[in-house]
Chains A and B, each alone.
Chain A
Amino acid sequence: MASFFSPALNEKIKGFLGRYETRRSSILPILHAIQDENDWISKEAVQALEAEHGLSVVDVNEVLSFYTMYRKTPPKAYRLEVCGSISCWLNGADKTISTAKDYIAAAEKSGKPVPFECHKVECLGVCGYAPVALVNKDRYLNVTPDAAVKLIEDYSNKDLPAAAKKCAADLAAAAQKP
């Protein structure tokens, strides 16, 4: 039977499994690797870890459900993550978040949705340039409401990242199955 994971990802997982004293210790980096490639971690992925790599689903799910930064549902292609901790909050992070969310909702309503979702996150560690935001793994400083809208527009005009394409393809394939 074909592996649930791509050959490259399988190699990565095997590398992590051999890296630590116990196999359980490798769960965190393995889940990150899966998320980087598939954009999220599905139940099928967890079960495939048990079936193909012998990790207990209970152990994996304990880790997966503990950490909020693992995505357990299929996300939009881009995640605008705005810091909501004290420095950013004082410098108008809330305004940035509400503007971005309104922009995304308005685009949705107008029939031309943008592949974006916006979250408030904890401190991103660059308090000197508040408010700070991430788009997927890219960091942006001084993200005012206007800058946030510009970020969304710029990214929406680009080609989608590979992980998002794979995520969409996987979902389409799953929908095909009875």
Chain B
Amino acid sequence: MSNQITLSINNQSISVPAGSTIMEAAQKLGVSVPHFCWHPGLSIAGVCRFCMVKVEGMPKLQIACNTPATEGMKVDTVSAEVKDAHKWALEFHLINHPLDCPICDQAGECELQNYYMKVGKYQSQMEDEKVLKPKALDVGDTLVLDTERCILCSRCVRFEDEVTKTSTLGIFNRGDQATIGTYQGRKIKHNYSYNLADICPVGAFTAKDFRFKCRVWFLKEAKTVCPGCSTGCSVNLFQNSNQREYYRLKPRHNAEVNGHWMCDTGRTMYEHLNASTRLSAPLLNGENVTFHAALQAVSDATKSVSADKVAVVFTAQFTSEEYSAVLNSLKTTLKGTPKVFVWREETETEESFDGILFRGDRNPNTRGMTEVLKQESVGASILKGDFSALANAGAELTLVFGPEVESAYPSLAKALSRFVELKKSVYFGNTLNEVAKKFWLRIPVKTFAEKSGTFVNFNGVAQKLKANPPVYPAVKAVDEYFADLGKLAQSAV
């Protein structure tokens, strides 16, 4: 193709689209070129001077991030000359860096620290005192800024200018006095602020939500999907597997869905996963029972009613697999189709969108649920603020599949109190909730972090969840419960 050019990096040949930089070609080839200011989701600044590479025919070393690749270019990233340049560039970055890694929250995932171990000089030749700058500045509800650790890569300034277009941050003063900051103590106020802590290559921006809670090397990450809204950002979920404790979510690059970023609302999606907020045992008529007894109660209840006296209330926060398991299982045991309702939050503005990622539909699988219902040819009525359709259905058994992320349902308590009024209502949920105690039967379920399955986002992109070990091992996912119910029904026959 004419718009492709071929160059060689460390004697390996690679074809890239014309106009690509050496850095992009190196990334494509899997050659790592050390860098600070370059970020694939932001514009090129070329200020850190760290990504030096040797280009044959050019008298001096060039920066890989801002040098366009040309046909037949021969690039070298490993020679002694290049390594020497990296070493000295790093020495200059460290002139005023406090090197307080032992008390720095970024330690373990700090690019400066990693490169220092890799290409650092170890013995600094600097004799002058380090310049002292403001530390531990409160720059918003989510972030703390330490300007001494900052290496002035300007990633955060470009993020504010280009992604959120809020332009709250700037580089003030000059020379060794230059600092990142906001104007006159103004705060960073937008729904994407944690991304600043992510893209900061050093510990200058740290997240209030995470700092000093856990060292990053104790965390294991699982590739999964954010359940916060119908965008369904690809994320990494970080768990301390020794403590069975979840600490945070970070975005995972997915060009189809979220690019490099995710919103602050999505970052809170670890809070409902930990044991202290979770249901652990089933509750029948207000008393704790075994999981077997709970399922037996459901099984018995389904035997004595006809299909049109059973109501199923879905929220769009379960996996597609769970919806089909519920519908198929009930169709078999009831020998007919139950009445299906879809419960939507009454204050929800489903179509709203903030222009970056966050959508008004706070359910991760609305599209997946709709597809399953269509596939099973089940018609569903919507319950949004008005529950009369359900009340008039005259159901003798109601199965309510409550939202996993309760913060997305501000009027949850009101809605639940309506379900409680019904005869024999069963609640499948995962959080401790006073109103849910009043259900005839309450069964705990797994969260998105613990089950396998699929979420289909607003755009029809299906993504798989990754199952971590469950916080409460006896708790199962909805599809697993209904498989057990099927077995119970068979053994009874």
Contact = CB atoms under 8 A, between A and B. Distances in A.
Nearest to A68: B174
Nearest to A46: B183
Contacts of B186: 57
Nearest to B186: A57
B171 A62 contact: yes
A142 interface: no
B183 A65 contact: no
B452 interface: no
Contacts of B169: 58
B259 interface: no
A57 B169 CA distance: 10
A59 B170 CA distance: 7
Contacts of A65: 172-174
B365 to A, nearest CB: 40
A95 interface: no
A57 B184 contact: yes
A58 B173 contact: no
B198 to A, nearest CB: 21
Contacts of B183: 57-58, 61
Contacts of B171: 62
A58 B186 CA distance: 10
A57 B183 CA distance: 7
Interface string A34-69: 000000000100000000000011110110011000
Interface residues of B, number: 12
A66 B173 contact: yes
A148 B167 CA distance: 46
Nearest to B182: A58
Prevailing SS type, chain B contact patch: mixed
A137 B343 CA distance: 74
Contacts, number: 25
Nearest to B170: A58
A61 B169 CA distance: 11
A125 B170 CA distance: 33
Interface string B156-178: 00000000000111111110000
A44 to B, nearest CB: 11
A58 B174 contact: no
Nearest to B171: A62
Contacts of B172: 61-62, 65-66
Q: Chain A interface: which size bin?
A: under 10
A97 to B, nearest CB: 23
A59 B167 contact: yes
A134 B174 CA distance: 25
Contacts of B167: 56, 58-59
Nearest to A66: B174
Contacts of B184: 43, 57
A15 B171 CA distance: 27
Nearest to A50: B183
A43 B167 CA distance: 18
A61 B170 contact: yes
A177 B323 CA distance: 67
Nearest to B172: A65
Q: Most chain-A CB neighbours within 10 Å: which of B169, B170, B171?
A: B170
Contacts of A56: 167
A57 B185 CA distance: 12
B417 to A, nearest CB: 49
Nearest to B169: A58
A15 B167 CA distance: 24
Interface in A131-156: none
Interface string B72-94: 00000000000000000000000
A58 B190 CA distance: 16
Nearest to B174: A66
A62 B167 CA distance: 12
A61 B172 CA distance: 7
A57 to B, nearest CB: 4
B364 to A, nearest CB: 36
Contacts of A57: 183-184, 186
A56 B184 CA distance: 13
Nearest to A64: B172
Nearest to B175: A66
Contacts of B182: 58
Contacts of A62: 170-172
Contacts of B173: 65-66
Q: Most chain-B CB neighbours within 10 Å: which of A58, A59, A62, A65?
A: A58
Q: Most chain-A CB neighbours within 10 Å: which of B168, B183, B184?
A: B183
A37 to B, nearest CB: 23
A48 to B, nearest CB: 14
A115 to B, nearest CB: 29
A61 B174 CA distance: 12
Interface in A155-178: none
A82 B169 CA distance: 36
Contacts of B168: 58
Contacts of B170: 58-59, 61-62
20 contacts: A43-B184, A56-B167, A57-B183, A57-B184, A57-B186, A58-B168, A58-B182, A58-B183, A59-B167, A61-B170, A61-B172, A62-B170, A62-B171, A62-B172, A65-B172, A65-B173, A65-B174, A66-B172, A66-B173, A66-B174
Interface of B: 167-174, 182-184, 186
Interface of A: 43, 56-59, 61-62, 65-66
Given A57-B186, A62-B171, A66-B172, 18 more contacts: A43-B184, A56-B167, A57-B183, A57-B184, A58-B167, A58-B168, A58-B182, A58-B183, A59-B167, A59-B170, A61-B170, A61-B172, A61-B183, A62-B170, A62-B172, A65-B174, A66-B173, A66-B174
Q: What 8 A-B pairs come out closest when comparing CB atoms?
A: A58-B170, A65-B172, A57-B183, A62-B170, A66-B174, A65-B173, A58-B183, A56-B167
